[in-house]
Amino acid sequence: MRSAPTILHLDMDAFYASAEQAAKPSLRGKAVVVGGLGPRGVVATASYEARKFGVHSAMPMGQARRLAPNAAYLVPRFGLYREISEQVMGLLRELSPLVEPLSLDEAFVDLEAGGVADSAESARAVGERLRADIRAVTGLSGSVGLAASKMLAKIASEEAKPDGLRLIAPGTERALLGPMSVRTLPGVGPATGDHLRRAGILTVAEIAEAGEDELVRLLGKAHGGSLYAMALARDERPVVAERESKSVSVEDTYDVDIHDRVRVRAEVARLAERCVQRLRASGHSGRTIVLKVRRFDFSTLTRSETLRGPTDDPGVVQEAAARLLEAVDTTGGVRLLGVGVTGLTDYTQEDLFAQAQAEAQTASAAVVSLVKDEDDGSAQAVGPEPERAEEPVAPAQRRWTAGHDVRHAEYGHGWVQGSGLGRVTVRFETPLSEPGRVKTFRTDDPQLEPAEPLPLVGAPATDGPAPRASG
Protein backbone atom coordinates (compact mmCIF):
# COMPACT_ATOMS: atom_id res chain seq x y z
CA MET A 1 0.00 0.00 0.00
CA ARG A 2 1.34 3.41 -0.94
CA SER A 3 2.38 6.00 1.64
CA ALA A 4 0.21 8.88 0.39
CA PRO A 5 -3.62 8.99 0.06
CA THR A 6 -3.57 9.33 -3.71
CA ILE A 7 -6.25 6.77 -4.64
CA LEU A 8 -9.49 8.65 -5.30
CA HIS A 9 -12.94 7.10 -5.28
CA LEU A 10 -15.80 9.12 -6.74
CA ASP A 11 -19.41 8.21 -6.14
CA MET A 12 -22.13 10.46 -7.52
CA ASP A 13 -24.86 11.22 -4.97
CA ALA A 14 -28.20 9.42 -5.57
CA PHE A 15 -27.26 9.66 -9.24
CA TYR A 16 -30.46 8.88 -11.16
CA ALA A 17 -32.71 10.68 -8.68
CA SER A 18 -30.40 13.70 -8.49
CA ALA A 19 -30.35 13.95 -12.29
CA GLU A 20 -34.15 13.94 -12.33
CA GLN A 21 -34.31 16.63 -9.65
CA ALA A 22 -31.84 18.77 -11.60
CA ALA A 23 -33.95 18.36 -14.74
CA LYS A 24 -37.27 19.04 -13.01
CA PRO A 25 -37.37 22.18 -10.80
CA SER A 26 -40.67 21.14 -9.21
CA LEU A 27 -39.00 18.02 -7.72
CA ARG A 28 -36.04 19.71 -6.05
CA GLY A 29 -35.99 19.08 -2.33
CA LYS A 30 -38.76 16.46 -2.66
CA ALA A 31 -38.80 12.67 -2.44
CA VAL A 32 -38.02 11.11 -5.83
CA VAL A 33 -37.87 7.39 -6.60
CA VAL A 34 -36.53 6.08 -9.92
CA GLY A 35 -37.12 2.52 -11.08
CA GLY A 36 -39.55 0.11 -12.69
CA LEU A 37 -43.13 1.22 -12.05
CA GLY A 38 -44.82 -2.06 -12.97
CA PRO A 39 -46.16 -4.59 -10.44
CA ARG A 40 -42.75 -6.28 -10.32
CA GLY A 41 -40.66 -3.11 -10.50
CA VAL A 42 -37.83 -2.37 -8.10
CA VAL A 43 -36.17 0.85 -6.94
CA ALA A 44 -33.06 1.80 -8.92
CA THR A 45 -32.26 4.97 -6.93
CA ALA A 46 -34.03 7.01 -4.27
CA SER A 47 -33.30 10.64 -3.49
CA TYR A 48 -32.05 11.48 -0.01
CA GLU A 49 -35.47 12.92 0.77
CA ALA A 50 -37.05 9.55 -0.08
CA ARG A 51 -34.46 7.65 1.95
CA LYS A 52 -35.72 9.38 5.09
CA PHE A 53 -38.88 7.25 4.67
CA GLY A 54 -36.84 4.06 4.45
CA VAL A 55 -36.82 3.73 0.66
CA HIS A 56 -33.60 2.28 -0.77
CA SER A 57 -32.17 0.72 -3.92
CA ALA A 58 -33.31 -2.80 -4.88
CA MET A 59 -36.48 -2.45 -2.77
CA PRO A 60 -39.70 -3.69 -4.44
CA MET A 61 -41.53 -0.67 -5.82
CA GLY A 62 -44.75 -1.65 -4.09
CA GLN A 63 -43.02 -1.48 -0.71
CA ALA A 64 -41.49 1.89 -1.62
CA ARG A 65 -44.95 3.28 -2.46
CA ARG A 66 -46.26 2.16 0.92
CA LEU A 67 -43.35 3.85 2.72
CA ALA A 68 -43.43 7.07 0.68
CA PRO A 69 -46.86 7.37 -0.99
CA ASN A 70 -46.37 11.04 -1.85
CA ALA A 71 -42.99 10.67 -3.57
CA ALA A 72 -42.56 11.22 -7.31
CA TYR A 73 -42.12 7.85 -9.07
CA LEU A 74 -40.27 8.01 -12.37
CA VAL A 75 -39.05 5.58 -15.03
CA PRO A 76 -35.26 5.78 -15.64
CA ARG A 77 -33.89 7.80 -18.57
CA PHE A 78 -30.67 5.90 -19.22
CA GLY A 79 -29.75 7.96 -22.25
CA LEU A 80 -29.50 11.07 -20.06
CA TYR A 81 -27.61 9.22 -17.33
CA ARG A 82 -25.05 7.88 -19.81
CA GLU A 83 -24.46 11.38 -21.20
CA ILE A 84 -23.80 12.74 -17.71
CA SER A 85 -21.58 9.75 -16.91
CA GLU A 86 -19.46 10.42 -20.00
CA GLN A 87 -18.97 14.01 -18.86
CA VAL A 88 -17.90 12.90 -15.38
CA MET A 89 -15.56 10.17 -16.66
CA GLY A 90 -14.02 12.73 -19.01
CA LEU A 91 -13.15 14.93 -16.03
CA LEU A 92 -11.57 11.94 -14.28
CA ARG A 93 -9.45 11.07 -17.30
CA GLU A 94 -8.08 14.60 -17.30
CA LEU A 95 -6.58 13.76 -13.90
CA SER A 96 -4.98 10.41 -14.69
CA PRO A 97 -4.64 7.71 -17.35
CA LEU A 98 -5.60 5.17 -14.67
CA VAL A 99 -9.37 5.48 -14.28
CA GLU A 100 -11.35 2.39 -13.32
CA PRO A 101 -15.11 2.88 -13.79
CA LEU A 102 -17.27 0.61 -11.65
CA SER A 103 -20.62 1.83 -13.00
CA LEU A 104 -22.14 4.90 -14.62
CA ASP A 105 -21.72 6.91 -11.42
CA GLU A 106 -18.68 5.44 -9.67
CA ALA A 107 -14.95 5.11 -10.39
CA PHE A 108 -11.46 4.83 -8.92
CA VAL A 109 -8.64 7.16 -10.02
CA ASP A 110 -4.89 6.82 -9.40
CA LEU A 111 -3.86 10.44 -8.88
CA GLU A 112 -0.19 9.61 -8.46
CA ALA A 113 -0.10 7.95 -11.89
CA GLY A 114 -1.45 11.18 -13.37
CA GLY A 115 1.21 13.26 -11.65
CA VAL A 116 -1.40 15.50 -10.05
CA ALA A 117 -0.93 14.48 -6.40
CA ASP A 118 1.82 13.00 -4.26
CA SER A 119 0.74 14.08 -0.77
CA ALA A 120 -2.35 14.47 1.39
CA GLU A 121 -2.48 18.21 0.72
CA SER A 122 -2.24 17.92 -3.06
CA ALA A 123 -4.70 15.02 -3.13
CA ARG A 124 -7.25 16.98 -1.12
CA ALA A 125 -6.88 19.96 -3.43
CA VAL A 126 -7.45 17.76 -6.48
CA GLY A 127 -10.51 16.19 -4.87
CA GLU A 128 -12.09 19.52 -4.03
CA ARG A 129 -11.40 20.86 -7.51
CA LEU A 130 -12.94 17.73 -9.04
CA ARG A 131 -16.12 18.15 -7.02
CA ALA A 132 -16.40 21.77 -8.14
CA ASP A 133 -15.78 20.82 -11.79
CA ILE A 134 -18.44 18.09 -11.67
CA ARG A 135 -20.99 20.54 -10.31
CA ALA A 136 -20.07 23.15 -12.93
CA VAL A 137 -20.28 20.68 -15.83
CA THR A 138 -23.25 18.54 -14.78
CA GLY A 139 -25.06 20.50 -12.08
CA LEU A 140 -24.84 17.44 -9.82
CA SER A 141 -22.84 16.58 -6.71
CA GLY A 142 -20.42 13.75 -6.12
CA SER A 143 -18.72 12.49 -2.97
CA VAL A 144 -14.97 11.86 -2.97
CA GLY A 145 -12.90 9.51 -0.84
CA LEU A 146 -9.10 9.72 -0.73
CA ALA A 147 -6.84 7.07 0.79
CA ALA A 148 -3.79 4.95 0.18
CA SER A 149 -5.82 1.99 -1.15
CA LYS A 150 -8.98 1.28 -3.11
CA MET A 151 -10.77 -0.29 -0.17
CA LEU A 152 -10.17 2.68 2.09
CA ALA A 153 -10.95 5.24 -0.62
CA LYS A 154 -14.35 3.63 -1.17
CA ILE A 155 -15.05 3.59 2.56
CA ALA A 156 -14.03 7.26 2.72
CA SER A 157 -16.40 8.30 -0.07
CA GLU A 158 -19.27 6.48 1.63
CA GLU A 159 -18.54 8.39 4.85
CA ALA A 160 -18.35 11.65 2.89
CA LYS A 161 -21.90 11.33 1.52
CA PRO A 162 -23.71 13.33 0.51
CA ASP A 163 -21.72 15.99 -1.33
CA GLY A 164 -18.54 15.77 0.72
CA LEU A 165 -14.88 14.77 0.75
CA ARG A 166 -13.15 12.48 3.24
CA LEU A 167 -9.40 11.81 3.34
CA ILE A 168 -8.01 8.93 5.38
CA ALA A 169 -4.49 9.84 6.45
CA PRO A 170 -1.88 7.05 6.37
CA GLY A 171 -1.37 5.62 9.85
CA THR A 172 -4.97 6.11 10.93
CA GLU A 173 -6.49 3.22 8.95
CA ARG A 174 -6.57 0.56 11.69
CA ALA A 175 -8.18 2.87 14.21
CA LEU A 176 -10.82 3.88 11.65
CA LEU A 177 -11.65 0.33 10.54
CA GLY A 178 -11.62 -1.33 13.96
CA PRO A 179 -15.14 -0.48 15.20
CA MET A 180 -16.77 -0.85 11.79
CA SER A 181 -19.03 -3.78 10.91
CA VAL A 182 -17.48 -6.72 9.08
CA ARG A 183 -19.90 -5.90 6.24
CA THR A 184 -17.81 -2.80 5.55
CA LEU A 185 -15.06 -4.91 3.97
CA PRO A 186 -15.21 -5.86 0.28
CA GLY A 187 -16.39 -9.41 -0.28
CA VAL A 188 -18.42 -9.64 2.94
CA GLY A 189 -22.02 -10.10 1.91
CA PRO A 190 -24.96 -11.30 3.99
CA ALA A 191 -23.89 -14.95 3.86
CA THR A 192 -20.28 -14.32 4.94
CA GLY A 193 -21.46 -11.81 7.49
CA ASP A 194 -23.81 -14.37 9.05
CA HIS A 195 -21.02 -16.97 9.07
CA LEU A 196 -18.74 -14.59 10.94
CA ARG A 197 -21.50 -13.53 13.31
CA ARG A 198 -22.10 -17.13 14.32
CA ALA A 199 -18.40 -17.31 15.13
CA GLY A 200 -18.74 -14.24 17.35
CA ILE A 201 -17.00 -11.88 14.90
CA LEU A 202 -18.96 -8.66 14.38
CA THR A 203 -16.38 -5.91 13.80
CA VAL A 204 -13.28 -5.45 11.69
CA ALA A 205 -11.17 -5.32 14.87
CA GLU A 206 -12.51 -8.75 15.85
CA ILE A 207 -11.43 -10.12 12.45
CA ALA A 208 -7.91 -8.89 13.13
CA GLU A 209 -7.99 -10.33 16.65
CA ALA A 210 -9.21 -13.73 15.42
CA GLY A 211 -6.05 -14.14 13.34
CA GLU A 212 -5.45 -15.41 9.84
CA ASP A 213 -5.56 -19.11 10.73
CA GLU A 214 -9.03 -18.79 12.22
CA LEU A 215 -10.29 -16.82 9.22
CA VAL A 216 -8.90 -19.44 6.84
CA ARG A 217 -10.57 -22.18 8.88
CA LEU A 218 -13.91 -20.36 8.73
CA LEU A 219 -13.89 -19.09 5.16
CA GLY A 220 -11.22 -20.94 3.22
CA LYS A 221 -7.69 -19.99 2.28
CA ALA A 222 -8.36 -17.41 -0.44
CA HIS A 223 -11.32 -15.63 1.14
CA GLY A 224 -10.12 -15.89 4.72
CA GLY A 225 -6.60 -14.73 3.89
CA SER A 226 -7.74 -11.71 1.86
CA LEU A 227 -10.30 -10.72 4.50
CA TYR A 228 -7.67 -10.84 7.25
CA ALA A 229 -5.33 -8.64 5.19
CA MET A 230 -8.08 -6.10 4.61
CA ALA A 231 -8.90 -6.03 8.33
CA LEU A 232 -5.28 -4.93 8.83
CA ALA A 233 -5.89 -2.20 6.21
CA ARG A 234 -3.77 -4.03 3.63
CA ASP A 235 -5.12 -3.70 0.11
CA GLU A 236 -2.66 -3.93 -2.76
CA ARG A 237 -5.20 -3.95 -5.57
CA PRO A 238 -4.11 -1.48 -8.28
CA VAL A 239 -6.39 0.91 -10.14
CA VAL A 240 -6.85 -0.78 -13.50
CA ALA A 241 -7.72 1.38 -16.50
CA GLU A 242 -10.58 0.37 -18.73
CA ARG A 243 -9.69 -2.73 -20.64
CA GLU A 244 -11.50 -4.89 -23.11
CA SER A 245 -14.02 -6.91 -21.17
CA LYS A 246 -14.75 -10.53 -21.89
CA SER A 247 -18.01 -10.41 -19.96
CA VAL A 248 -20.39 -8.12 -18.12
CA SER A 249 -22.39 -9.38 -15.16
CA VAL A 250 -24.28 -8.34 -12.05
CA GLU A 251 -25.35 -10.38 -9.06
CA ASP A 252 -27.08 -9.91 -5.70
CA THR A 253 -26.80 -11.88 -2.46
CA TYR A 254 -29.94 -11.82 -0.32
CA ASP A 255 -30.19 -11.42 3.44
CA VAL A 256 -32.97 -14.01 3.55
CA ASP A 257 -33.31 -16.90 1.12
CA ILE A 258 -35.96 -16.25 -1.54
CA HIS A 259 -38.56 -19.03 -1.80
CA ASP A 260 -41.28 -17.29 -3.79
CA ARG A 261 -40.88 -18.23 -7.46
CA VAL A 262 -42.56 -15.01 -8.59
CA ARG A 263 -40.04 -12.98 -6.58
CA VAL A 264 -37.17 -15.00 -8.07
CA ARG A 265 -38.41 -14.24 -11.60
CA ALA A 266 -38.72 -10.55 -10.74
CA GLU A 267 -35.18 -10.46 -9.35
CA VAL A 268 -33.79 -12.13 -12.48
CA ALA A 269 -35.60 -9.59 -14.68
CA ARG A 270 -34.20 -6.73 -12.60
CA LEU A 271 -30.67 -8.15 -12.75
CA ALA A 272 -30.96 -8.59 -16.51
CA GLU A 273 -31.91 -4.93 -16.86
CA ARG A 274 -28.95 -3.84 -14.71
CA CYS A 275 -26.64 -6.09 -16.71
CA VAL A 276 -27.75 -4.46 -19.97
CA GLN A 277 -27.14 -1.03 -18.47
CA ARG A 278 -23.51 -1.99 -17.83
CA LEU A 279 -23.25 -3.65 -21.22
CA ARG A 280 -24.40 -0.51 -23.01
CA ALA A 281 -22.23 1.72 -20.85
CA SER A 282 -19.22 -0.33 -21.98
CA GLY A 283 -20.17 0.12 -25.65
CA HIS A 284 -20.57 -3.62 -26.25
CA SER A 285 -23.15 -6.19 -27.20
CA GLY A 286 -22.94 -9.90 -26.44
CA ARG A 287 -24.11 -13.26 -27.71
CA THR A 288 -24.23 -15.52 -24.66
CA ILE A 289 -26.59 -14.95 -21.73
CA VAL A 290 -25.55 -16.52 -18.42
CA LEU A 291 -27.70 -17.17 -15.34
CA LYS A 292 -26.10 -17.90 -11.96
CA VAL A 293 -28.12 -19.33 -9.06
CA ARG A 294 -26.74 -20.14 -5.60
CA ARG A 295 -29.27 -22.19 -3.69
CA PHE A 296 -30.04 -22.54 0.01
CA ASP A 297 -27.44 -25.31 0.40
CA PHE A 298 -24.68 -23.15 -1.20
CA SER A 299 -24.73 -25.25 -4.39
CA THR A 300 -24.15 -22.95 -7.36
CA LEU A 301 -25.69 -23.60 -10.77
CA THR A 302 -24.77 -21.81 -13.98
CA ARG A 303 -26.86 -21.97 -17.14
CA SER A 304 -26.20 -20.24 -20.46
CA GLU A 305 -27.82 -19.65 -23.83
CA THR A 306 -26.07 -18.43 -26.97
CA LEU A 307 -28.09 -16.23 -29.32
CA ARG A 308 -27.85 -16.02 -33.10
CA GLY A 309 -26.12 -12.68 -32.93
CA PRO A 310 -24.92 -10.09 -30.41
CA THR A 311 -27.48 -7.97 -28.59
CA ASP A 312 -27.78 -5.19 -26.04
CA ASP A 313 -31.57 -5.30 -26.02
CA PRO A 314 -32.90 -5.53 -22.44
CA GLY A 315 -35.98 -7.43 -23.58
CA VAL A 316 -33.91 -10.08 -25.32
CA VAL A 317 -31.60 -10.52 -22.32
CA GLN A 318 -34.53 -10.67 -19.89
CA GLU A 319 -36.34 -13.27 -21.97
CA ALA A 320 -33.23 -15.44 -22.29
CA ALA A 321 -32.54 -15.20 -18.55
CA ALA A 322 -36.16 -16.13 -17.83
CA ARG A 323 -35.90 -19.20 -20.08
CA LEU A 324 -32.72 -20.27 -18.29
CA LEU A 325 -34.41 -19.86 -14.92
CA GLU A 326 -37.20 -22.26 -15.91
CA ALA A 327 -34.59 -25.05 -16.03
CA VAL A 328 -33.45 -24.43 -12.44
CA ASP A 329 -35.14 -25.83 -9.33
CA THR A 330 -35.40 -23.06 -6.73
CA THR A 331 -37.98 -24.64 -4.42
CA GLY A 332 -35.53 -24.91 -1.51
CA GLY A 333 -34.69 -21.22 -1.61
CA VAL A 334 -32.18 -18.94 -3.36
CA ARG A 335 -29.26 -17.13 -1.69
CA LEU A 336 -27.74 -15.45 -4.75
CA LEU A 337 -28.81 -14.61 -8.30
CA GLY A 338 -26.70 -13.28 -11.14
CA VAL A 339 -27.13 -12.44 -14.83
CA GLY A 340 -24.24 -11.96 -17.23
CA VAL A 341 -23.47 -11.51 -20.91
CA THR A 342 -20.36 -12.99 -22.52
CA GLY A 343 -18.99 -13.21 -26.04
CA LEU A 344 -18.75 -9.44 -26.17
CA THR A 345 -18.22 -7.45 -29.31
CA ASP A 346 -18.29 -3.80 -30.26
CA TYR A 347 -21.67 -2.77 -31.58
CA THR A 348 -20.87 -2.95 -35.28
CA GLN A 349 -22.48 -1.74 -38.49
CA GLU A 350 -23.47 -5.35 -39.19
CA ASP A 351 -25.40 -5.50 -35.92
CA LEU A 352 -27.23 -2.31 -36.75
CA PHE A 353 -28.02 -3.51 -40.27
CA ALA A 354 -29.37 -6.80 -38.98
CA GLN A 355 -31.57 -4.98 -36.49
CA ALA A 356 -32.85 -2.58 -39.13
CA GLN A 357 -33.61 -5.50 -41.44
CA ALA A 358 -35.50 -7.32 -38.70
CA GLU A 359 -37.47 -4.19 -37.85
CA ALA A 360 -38.35 -3.68 -41.50
CA GLN A 361 -39.58 -7.28 -41.76
CA THR A 362 -41.68 -6.82 -38.63
CA ALA A 363 -43.14 -3.59 -39.97
CA SER A 364 -43.97 -5.24 -43.30
CA ALA A 365 -45.69 -8.12 -41.54
CA ALA A 366 -47.70 -5.69 -39.45
CA VAL A 367 -49.14 -3.84 -42.42
CA VAL A 368 -50.02 -6.95 -44.44
CA SER A 369 -53.81 -7.21 -44.46
CA LEU A 370 -56.40 -9.71 -45.61
CA VAL A 371 -58.73 -8.37 -48.34
CA LYS A 372 -61.51 -10.19 -50.08
CA ASP A 373 -60.74 -11.31 -53.62
CA GLU A 374 -63.51 -10.00 -55.93
CA ASP A 375 -63.33 -13.01 -58.29
CA ASP A 376 -63.59 -16.08 -56.06
CA GLY A 377 -64.39 -14.72 -52.62
CA SER A 378 -61.22 -16.15 -51.08
CA ALA A 379 -58.98 -14.21 -48.74
CA GLN A 380 -55.40 -13.47 -49.75
CA ALA A 381 -52.53 -11.60 -48.11
CA VAL A 382 -51.46 -8.46 -49.91
CA GLY A 383 -49.37 -5.40 -49.14
CA PRO A 384 -50.98 -2.08 -48.29
CA GLU A 385 -52.49 -0.06 -51.12
CA PRO A 386 -52.56 3.57 -49.98
CA GLU A 387 -54.49 4.76 -53.01
CA ARG A 388 -57.42 2.52 -52.05
CA ALA A 389 -57.32 3.27 -48.32
CA GLU A 390 -60.11 5.84 -48.13
CA GLU A 391 -61.50 4.99 -44.69
CA PRO A 392 -59.77 6.78 -41.79
CA VAL A 393 -57.57 4.61 -39.65
CA ALA A 394 -57.63 5.11 -35.88
CA PRO A 395 -54.26 6.39 -34.63
CA ALA A 396 -52.15 4.01 -32.57
CA GLN A 397 -52.47 4.60 -28.84
CA ARG A 398 -49.38 6.44 -27.62
CA ARG A 399 -47.65 5.33 -24.46
CA TRP A 400 -46.38 8.14 -22.27
CA THR A 401 -43.78 7.13 -19.69
CA ALA A 402 -43.69 8.84 -16.30
CA GLY A 403 -40.72 11.19 -16.04
CA HIS A 404 -39.84 11.19 -19.73
CA ASP A 405 -39.54 14.33 -21.85
CA VAL A 406 -42.18 15.71 -24.16
CA ARG A 407 -42.76 18.86 -26.18
CA HIS A 408 -46.06 20.57 -26.89
CA ALA A 409 -46.44 22.87 -29.87
CA GLU A 410 -48.02 25.58 -27.71
CA TYR A 411 -46.59 25.06 -24.22
CA GLY A 412 -43.04 23.97 -25.01
CA HIS A 413 -40.84 21.46 -23.17
CA GLY A 414 -42.14 19.38 -20.27
CA TRP A 415 -42.21 15.94 -18.72
CA VAL A 416 -44.86 13.31 -18.13
CA GLN A 417 -46.26 13.22 -14.60
CA GLY A 418 -48.59 10.34 -15.37
CA SER A 419 -51.03 8.87 -17.86
CA GLY A 420 -54.09 6.63 -17.97
CA LEU A 421 -57.70 6.43 -19.14
CA GLY A 422 -56.76 8.09 -22.42
CA ARG A 423 -55.19 11.13 -20.75
CA VAL A 424 -51.62 12.25 -20.11
CA THR A 425 -50.61 14.85 -17.51
CA VAL A 426 -47.56 17.02 -18.28
CA ARG A 427 -45.65 19.55 -16.21
CA PHE A 428 -44.06 22.21 -18.41
CA GLU A 429 -40.64 23.22 -17.10
CA THR A 430 -36.96 22.97 -18.00
CA PRO A 431 -33.76 22.58 -15.95
CA LEU A 432 -33.25 26.36 -15.73
CA SER A 433 -36.87 27.49 -15.47
CA GLU A 434 -39.06 28.03 -12.45
CA PRO A 435 -41.40 25.18 -11.45
CA GLY A 436 -43.92 24.99 -14.27
CA ARG A 437 -47.66 24.57 -14.63
CA VAL A 438 -49.44 21.26 -15.13
CA LYS A 439 -51.82 20.48 -17.97
CA THR A 440 -53.67 17.37 -19.10
CA PHE A 441 -54.17 16.24 -22.71
CA ARG A 442 -55.60 13.36 -24.66
CA THR A 443 -52.94 10.69 -25.21
CA ASP A 444 -53.37 11.13 -28.98
CA ASP A 445 -53.08 14.94 -28.94
CA PRO A 446 -51.27 15.76 -32.23
CA GLN A 447 -49.51 18.76 -30.67
CA LEU A 448 -47.77 16.60 -28.05
CA GLU A 449 -44.72 14.55 -28.97
CA PRO A 450 -41.79 12.80 -27.26
CA ALA A 451 -38.64 14.93 -26.85
CA GLU A 452 -34.98 14.54 -26.02
CA PRO A 453 -33.74 15.52 -22.55
CA LEU A 454 -32.37 19.05 -22.22
CA PRO A 455 -28.86 19.66 -20.82
CA LEU A 456 -28.84 20.17 -17.06
CA VAL A 457 -26.28 22.98 -17.27
CA GLY A 458 -26.20 25.79 -19.81
CA ALA A 459 -29.62 24.90 -21.16
CA PRO A 460 -31.99 27.67 -22.20
CA ALA A 461 -34.57 28.43 -19.55
CA THR A 462 -37.32 27.51 -21.98
CA ASP A 463 -37.83 25.54 -25.15
CA GLY A 464 -40.59 27.29 -27.00
CA PRO A 465 -43.23 29.25 -25.11
CA ALA A 466 -42.30 30.09 -21.53
CA PRO A 467 -43.70 27.81 -18.84
CA ARG A 468 -46.01 29.70 -16.55
CA ALA A 469 -45.42 29.33 -12.83
CA SER A 470 -47.94 27.21 -11.00
CA GLY A 471 -50.11 28.85 -8.45
pLDDT at 18: 96
Q: Which helix (H) or strand (E) holds 185?
A: none
In order of 179, 205, 212, 256, 462, the CA distances from 202 in angstroms are 9, 8, 16, 18, 54
pLDDT at 246: 72
With CA atoms as reference, report the closest residue to 28 among 13, 11, 54, 47.
Answer: 47
- Residues in the chain predicted with pLDDT less than 50, given as ranges, are 348-396, 459-471
Q: Which amino acid is at 289?
A: I
CB of 333 within 8 A of CB of 256? no
Cis ω before 76 (30° cut-off from 0): no
How open is the CA angle 14-339-151, to the nearest 5 degrees? Answer: 50
Exposure letters 286-323 (e unless 16+ CB within 10 A, then b):
bbbbbbbbbbeeeeeeebeeebeebbbebeebbebbee
pLDDT at 1: 63
pLDDT at 390: 37
- Looking at residue 457, the DSSP 8-state letter turns out to be S
Q: Which residues carry out catalysis?
A: 106
